[in-house]
Chain A
Amino acid sequence: MRRPPRSHPLWLAYILHRLSGLGLALFLPVHFWVLSLALTQPQQLDELLVFTQMPMVKLAEFGLVFLLAVHLFGGLRLLALEFLPWSGRQKSLAAGAVGMAFLISGTFLIQAV
């Protein structure tokens, strides 16, 4: 019960960074396993590549690109926060990281469909 509400922007940026990192950590082993099929079972890889042409999978890939981009830009913000002279515009920088992530993942989605 004795927990403060966590609605302020930098806390949300923090949780977004954690969850995107967790999502990528779960995705990467599967990603590398699928890539390894090119060497071990090429025909199974081809079947999976056909599967990735489905619209729902494209949408899921949009989500993955968003996670990657938001983790990348969020991580750059944290590196700047910890190693560059202090900037008071942390909320704007966090919002910018989310904006850039949408720009990149949105561009990916438009290219993919």
Chain B
Amino acid sequence: MGADQEHLEVTVWRGTAVGGRTETFEVPAHDSQTVLDVVSWIQQYADPTLSYRFACRVGMCGSCAMMVNGEPRWTCRTHVQKVARAGKVRIEPLRNLPVIKDLVADMDPFFEKWIEAEGVHHPTRTRADAIERIDPESAARVEANTGIECINCAVCYAACDTVAGNSDYLGPAALNRAWTLFNDAKDAGKQAVLDAVSGSGGCHNCHSMGSCTHYCPNELNPMAAIAGLKRETAKSFFRRRRDA
């Protein structure tokens, strides 16, 4: 905690898409205080014009991610005591995304890339058919299960240096989604997924730095998912050449 143990020195990025500056607030420190609590305190007691985004406060909805002392984090489940350095905290909008205002990042590019990666449902049956039975023990289902708990918080996207260097790169979350669909018996778009993720912004851009896996708050492994896509797109490439 800070010099007086009772207050935090919180530096917050303020601004819009055209530019901004930082502003520092003194916030009362409490036990078990989260970073989101700190941001909310500023908005409620210091400056009501501060813009930020949250909904569930319990790590389900994925809307409150921000950069905290330079690292992407889900702020509702991040205790200030764990991340404050000598009582100081720096809070900024998510990296690799445009800013709307203050701590609110524009999530449109992030979700547009989910669609680009064919992260949409491709049904195998109609509502008139019986529901497909799924074997929960099958290898593909087990693999799909490892990636389905993604809450779309964009922490991995903000952590990724490949996204920072290549704005066309689909990013870890979209590719992780593509991998779960590829392994899903109820998805009929396997080749569409492989085609979508093998383009110029696709999975082969990944340098396996592993920041996505390192920072994922739900402890998913997008790096493994992307490696899976690399394997399957390579197989698909050689299969097509053989069959051509």
Contact = CB atoms under 8 A, between A and B. Distances in A.
Interface residues of A, number: 17
Contacts of A88: 221, 224
B23 to A, nearest CB: 14
Contacts of B230: 82-83
A4 interface: yes
Interface in A57-85: 78, 81-83
B67 A81 contact: no
Nearest to B67: A2
A4 B227 contact: no
A89 to B, nearest CB: 12
A90 B210 CA distance: 9
Given A14-B209, A81-B208, A8 B214 contact: yes
B118 interface: no
Given A1-B92, A6-B211, A82 B227 contact: yes
Interface of B: 67, 70-72, 92-93, 95, 158-159, 161, 164, 207-211, 213-215, 221, 223-224, 227-228, 230-231, 234
Given A1-B70, A10-B213, 7 more contacts: A4-B158, A5-B71, A6-B211, A8-B211, A10-B209, A11-B211, A14-B210
